[in-house]
Structure 1
Amino acid sequence: MKPLLTALLLAAGSAHANPVTMEDQSQLKVPDAQAQPRFVPPAEGELPDNAFGKMVREGHALFVDTRRLMPEAVGNGMNCSNCHLDQGRMAHSAPLWGAYPMYPAYRKKNDKVNTYAERIQGCFQFSMNGKPPAADSPQMTALSVYSYWLSTKAPTGVELAGRGYPEVAPPAGGYDFTRGQKVYLEQCAICHGKQGEGQKVAGEYVMPPLWGRDAYNWGAGMHRINTAASFIKYNMPLGRPGSLSDQQAWDVAAWINRHERPQDPRLVEGSIEKTRLKFHANDGVNLYGQKVEGVLIGQGTGH
């Protein structure tokens, strides 16, 4: 009997005596935000000229041009590469090489052990406000193969430096919408538009919208102010990561996430309050179901 199978059977037999604690990957953790990433994903020139290489290229194309190539699965103006920069390669931007080797994993978000395919399906449902492709679909296979290839020689089950979005601690004085609006207009609007509408060329988004009907929905991880602040701090403005202070990152993340966006697809009995209590009350720092300046946040762009 193989050692791994033996260990699993022994663990199952003693489950009551030694309960297994499964890692929650609802929010990615980073072992050391200051650690210099050492893992280097393979270069495109290393791809073999065979069926495997062809599928990796297909996955890459879907990853960077998702909205156009998978219109049946994407319900907004996003591509996978909008949140996972440099084609899923960039450290501190939830790179695929940091994610693929960590699955299967338990996620509190859906209270189950997720396969990597299920994790991607979640991105389609929430970040892309769409309809997840089937786990055994050609598109899902290609995206998974692309992720696998970027993870070539990465250790399995080890949190590599550069994985996820490094945590940015909340400022002592909290966040401020007014300051956030100022930062947004000065640093973000040139790409994402004054009203968060993004930019289009020939009818296709070249810069993603940050709020409104074509943005990520209220179930996406980026709706958390703390998650958005971490992404912004380490990746934005484009080409100048780290140029904003922690305070500015939190302020502008709060400003972005006080605006309406598509409804959480997990809406409970048509009730924002029931949805808030079930899914948002203990999910980081977010505004869903709260009133800001007398306006209920989380009504969705259909209201």
Structure 2
Amino acid sequence: MKSVIVALITFNIISMACATEIVEPTAPPKIPNPTQNQAPTFLPPAEETLPDNAFGRLVQQGHAIFVDTKANASEFVGNGLNCTNCHLEQGRKADSAPLWGAYTMYPAYRKKNDKVNTYAERLQGCFQFSMNGKPPPADSQVISALTAYSYWLATGAPTGQELPGRSYPEIPEPTGGFDLAKGKAIYARQCSVCHGDEGEGQKAGGDYVFPPLWGKDSFNWGAGMHRINTAAGFIKSNMPLGKGGTLSTDEAWHVAAYMNSHERPKDPRMIAGSVEQTRLKFHANDGVNLYGQKVNGVIVGQGTE
């Protein structure tokens, strides 16, 4: 029952960045055919093109890790999220940082760690920040399988070109800035039915079927989604679930700011327990964010346990 629930529901959910020996599912989950809401210039391959050989099995394993990361990469996951929560439709959906748009852009310089990153290092960062876990070794089966899945989804995509839909859209900040009170009202009206009144998510048994947006089981303060501008672009295009594009640009900013005004796991790069030093080094020039800022009289960024 667990695998059926996860396979059916994580196909579409968010929101909002395994043991060393992987246990391969007895019946690998089916990889869906392309949907119709992809960027017009590129469609990832259909399932029937996947070869029945060692490569195809590795791709299937990567798909299994991607959609049920907690179960299939548990050693490296520290929260309640799966990769597909931020990369919707199992890494296929345009304007949701699809894998086919990411794979062909690496190696690439990243300001976040001030160096040229390989694709393996990019995946490692997702585990460290979005999954609030620890990076799998670059030569691990987990990274190999996720890389194979990404490579296969990018079949036929041009290398080094920013395809339409490859990331989250950039949308302008509201005139006069974001408003947390408006964001709270929008959240209650549009988001709480899936993600809970307190951003706690929803579970079926012991597994999240709608992910937590803040608190101990959500992404940490180092994840890209903690940036309000990043979260706003994701929300504008993809939320509410199944109704992406229905919120205005201003509404997306307001609700993203409200989401990211709450406490979450600490930034694993925190310097000597100091929010201020960590803010100055890692957050002061990292998009629009509330890390180290005072919200409702409290400095956020200390982290949850």
Category of TM-score, reference length = shorter chain: 0.7 to 0.9
3-state DSSP of counterpart to 2:78? coil
Taking structure 2 as the reference length, the TM-score comes to 0.87
* 2:280 is aligned with 1:267: no
CA contact 1:37–1:91 (8 Å) conserved in 2: no
Distance 1:237 1:43 in 2: 27
Give the aligned partner of residue 209 of structure 2: 206
Give the aligned partner of residue 228 of structure 2: 225
CA contact 1:37–1:160 (8 Å) conserved in 2: no
Give the aligned partner of residue 283 of structure 2: 280
- Amino acid across the alignment from 2:116: V
1:122 to 122, 125, 137: 125
Give runs of aligned pairs for residues 1-303 of structure 1, distance below 5 A.
Answer: 36-302=39-305
1:246-298: CA deviation from partner (whole Å, max 9, x where unpaired): 01000000100000000000001211100000000000000001112211111
Distance 2:267 2:62 in 1: 27
* Structure 1 residues 215 and 236: alpha-carbon distance in aligned structure 2, compared to 1, 3 A threshold: same
CA contact 2:127–2:133 (8 Å) conserved in 1: yes
* Structure 1 residues 36 and 201: alpha-carbon distance in aligned structure 2, compared to 1, 3 A threshold: closer
CA contact 2:39–2:94 (8 Å) conserved in 1: no
Distance 1:196 1:36 in 2: 31
Distance 1:191 1:38 in 2: 32
Distance 1:230 1:193 in 2: 21
Distance 2:167 2:173 in 1: 18
- Higher alpha-carbon Rg: 1
1:153-192: CA deviation from partner (whole Å, max 9, x where unpaired): 0000011011100101001121111110111111111111
- Amino acid across the alignment from 2:83: C
Distance 2:99 2:246 in 1: 24
Distance 1:80 1:44 in 2: 19
3-state DSSP of counterpart to 1:226? helix
Distance 1:90 1:271 in 2: 38
CA contact 2:132–2:265 (8 Å) conserved in 1: yes
Unaligned runs of 5+ in 1: 1-34
Distance 1:292 1:59 in 2: 40
3-state DSSP of counterpart to 1:200? strand
- Amino acid across the alignment from 1:245: S
CA contact 2:168–2:234 (8 Å) conserved in 1: yes
- Amino acid across the alignment from 2:292: G
- Amino acid across the alignment from 1:267: M
Shift of 1:108: 0.7
Among the aligned pairs, what percent are the same residue?
69
3-state DSSP of counterpart to 1:153? coil
Shift of 1:193: 0.6
Taking structure 1 as the reference length, the TM-score comes to 0.87
Moved over 6 A (4+): none
Give the aligned partner of residue 10 of structure 1: none
Unaligned runs of 5+ in 2: 1-37
Shift of 1:36: 5.0
